[in-house]
């Protein structure tokens, strides 16, 4: 399952490419937020990824707000983070978020 946000389309292209290559479901974060969809059930070996742009050295606020509300009924053992263009900066924060949730 790939969660993504894109303001101008770059991250959307990346998210769609990854989802197609890995055969993973795509979730557009603003749409999930609008629909109040925060609970997701993961299959046994399902991978979780995030794709979003970096704004002023940080993930967009709406991405961080969404991650705060996210709940998985089965915790991923090792979430796969696709932060682009600055993956390393965003990985620690998202991992921390997952640890707090599970
Ligand atoms: C207001 C603003 C702030 C940005 N800040 C950063 C940044 O701190 N670091 C970075 O690498 N890119 C930064 N960028 C570049 C975007 O992350 C980059 O253009 C990205 O491809 C946009 O993705 P999108 O087309 O999915 O919206 C910024 C772009 C904007 C518009």
Which residue has a Cα nearest atom 30 of ligand 1?
A: 55
User: What range does the domain containing 88 cover?
Assistant: 2-101
pLDDT at 74: 72
DSSP, res 58: B
User: What mean pLDDT value characterizes the chain?
Assistant: 82
Q: Which of 7, 11, 54 to mutate to test the pocket of ligand 1 (most atoms within 8 A of CB)?
A: 54
Residue 11, Cβ density class (10 Å: 0-12 exposed, 13-18 middle, ≥19 buried): buried
**pLDDT band with cut points at 50, 70 and 90 for residue 69:** very high
pLDDT at 32: 98
Q: Which two tokens stand for residue 2?
A: 């790939």
Measured in Å, residue 13 CA sits from the centre of ligand 1 at: 14
- Tens digits of per-residue pLDDT, 36-64? 999 998 887 788 999 999 999 999 999 99
Query: How many structural domains does the chain have?
Result: 1
Measured in Å, residue 5 CA sits from the centre of ligand 1 at: 12
Residue percentage of the chain with pLDDT more than 70: 73
Which residue has a Cα nearest atom 20 of ligand 1?
A: 53
Measured in Å, residue 55 CA sits from the centre of ligand 1 at: 5
């Amino acid at each position: 399952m790939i969660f993504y946000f894109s303001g101008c389309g770059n991250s959307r292209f990346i998210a769609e490419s990854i989802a197609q290559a890995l055969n993973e479901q795509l979730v557009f974060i603003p749409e999930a937020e609008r629909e109040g969809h925060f609970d997701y059930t993961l299959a046994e070996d399902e991978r979780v990824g995030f794709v979003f742009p970096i704004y002023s050295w940080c993930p967009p606020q709406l991405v961080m707000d969404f991650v705060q509300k996210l709940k998985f009924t089965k915790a991923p053992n090792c979430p796969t983070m696709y932060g682009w263009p600055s993956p390393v900066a965003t990985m620690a924060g998202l991992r921390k978020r997952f640890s707090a949730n599970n």
